């Protein structure tokens, strides 16, 4: 079982995916100008709407979906200060949508103390989501809960045999001014946590875990993401920290002002990576910084991949048209086990521009004989403006 530690704050985020990731999530403000204090949330008295008063039962064998829906409807329509509350215990809950807008006069408080258990069958989910909060402004979600996805019972096995729709455990869609604090998620049937079309979201001290051989990107920052900071995150195994994949569809929104800092990657298939599809339509990603990253026996610690094709059957008749510019890799150190310490696989048409490496020190962890055959630094495609300062590759 792997655990991850994760700190994040999102000022403007269109899609933000986390599959097998983190545990401790913090934040940024004013274009990374400083750190906010630990979010506290509202403290004034609330009218409490307890799911147990609406028929909810902490019995992992009884479906509580209807009780949760009734409780949310009452809490959301309350015109005073309102709290949706789940007491201790284990509550079986099916696919549920907590929709707004709400009529509450201040922050909608959601305190989940008990653990929520998802149905094991994929057929129990009409769409690719389990718990979603949507169309809400000013919400505080917290508690000692664990959202148990139960992916190991059926979903992971079926997905290995054939293509399947992954079920995300927790989604925030079109949500603004939100704090998510002190919850945990485990064994999702797909992505653990997704933010979509949301603004001013702080995620703090969130733990996500699943078995070491199940997972994808620890943190994936996708199209339309602006002003995102990921800090204090421990990741591994899985596929590391990724920007993308980008360029899969037309008219994708740009990715800009992304910073990943003070993180550790241990035993992952990638360290820090930017990935775009071949034959992709035009789009762009710029002003991206990876700073203070420790690599421990990682494959591809620094990787720009503009020929990303996980299935091996992509359209490669033309190059990626995703423009990558102003990318900085700074104070990245540790060990790697792949053929390349740094691999800049740029597009042959839309050149990578202004790529900078500062204080990068990477050591191959293979035997001496293997090290002699191991590549240290590779570039392919078009690259306009590459600067390397005070760096070693052994």
Instruction: Indicate the DSSP class of residue 60.
Output: T
Backbone angles phi, psi at 353, to 5 degrees: -125, 140
Q: Are 211 and 152 within 8 A, CB to CB?
A: yes
Contacts of 171 (CB under 8 A, 6+ apart): 129, 131, 132, 133, 134, 193, 194, 195, 196
Catalytically annotated residue among 216, 217, 227, 305: 216
Catalytically annotated residue among 138, 239, 291, 305: 239
- CB burial string 129-140: b at 16+ within 10 A, e below: bbbbbbebbbbb
Active site residue 239: yes
Segments of 58-206 assigned E as strands:
82-86, 90-92, 96-99, 108-112, 115-117, 129-142, 146-148, 168-181, 184-186, 193-204
Active site residue 78: no
Calpha distance 377→394 (Å, rounded): 10
CA contacts within 13 A on the Cβ side of 83: 17
- Catalytic positions are 216, 239
């Amino acid at each position: 079982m792997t655990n991850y530690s994760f700190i994040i704050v999102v000022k403007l985020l269109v899609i933000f995916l986390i599959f097998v990731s983190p545990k401790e999530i913090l934040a940024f403000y004013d274009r990374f100008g400083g750190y906010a204090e630990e979010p506290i949330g509202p403290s004034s008295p609330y009218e409490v709407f307890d799911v147990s008063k609406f028929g909810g039962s902490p019995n992992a064998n009884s479906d509580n979906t209807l009780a949760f829906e009734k409780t949310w409807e009452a809490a959301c329509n309350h015109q005073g200060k309102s709290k949706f509350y789940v007491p201790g215990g284990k509550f079986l809950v099916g696919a549920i949508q907590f929709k707004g807008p709400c009529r509450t006069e201040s922050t909608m408080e959601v305190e989940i103390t008990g653990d929520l258990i998802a149905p094991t069958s994929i057929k129990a989910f009409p769409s690719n989501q389990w718990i979603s909060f949507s169309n809400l402004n000013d919400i505080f979600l917290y508690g000692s809960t664990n959202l148990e996805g139960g992916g190991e019972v059926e979903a992971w096995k079926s997905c290995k045999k054939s293509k399947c729709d992954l079920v995300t455990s927790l989604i925030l869609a079109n949500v603004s001014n939100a704090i998510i604090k002190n919850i945990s998620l485990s064994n999702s049937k797909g992505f653990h946590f997704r933010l979509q079309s949301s603004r001013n979201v702080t995620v703090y001290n969130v733990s996500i875990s699943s078995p070491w051989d199940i997972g994808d990107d620890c943190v994936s920052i996708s199209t339309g993401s602006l002003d995102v900071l990921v800090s204090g995150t421990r990741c591994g195994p899985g596929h590391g920290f990724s920007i993308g994949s980008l360029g899969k569809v037309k008219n994708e929104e740009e990715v800009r002002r992304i910073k990943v800092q003070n993180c550790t990657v241990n035993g992952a298939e990638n360290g820090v990576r930017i990935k775009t599809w071949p034959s992709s339509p035009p789009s762009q990603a710029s002003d991206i910084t990876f700073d203070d990253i420790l690599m421990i026996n990682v494959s591809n610690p620094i990787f720009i991949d503009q020929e990303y094709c996980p299935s091996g059957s992509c359209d490669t008749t033309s190059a990626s048209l995703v423009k990558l510019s102003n990318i900085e890799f700074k104070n990245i150190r540790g060990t790697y086990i792949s053929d390349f310490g740094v691999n800049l696989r740029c597009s042959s048409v839309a050149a990578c521009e202004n790529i900078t490496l500062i204080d990068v020190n990477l050591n191959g962890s293979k035997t001496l004989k293997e090290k002699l055959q191991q590549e240290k630094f590779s570039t392919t495609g078009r690259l306009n403006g590459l600067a390397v300062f005070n760096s070693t590759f052994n």
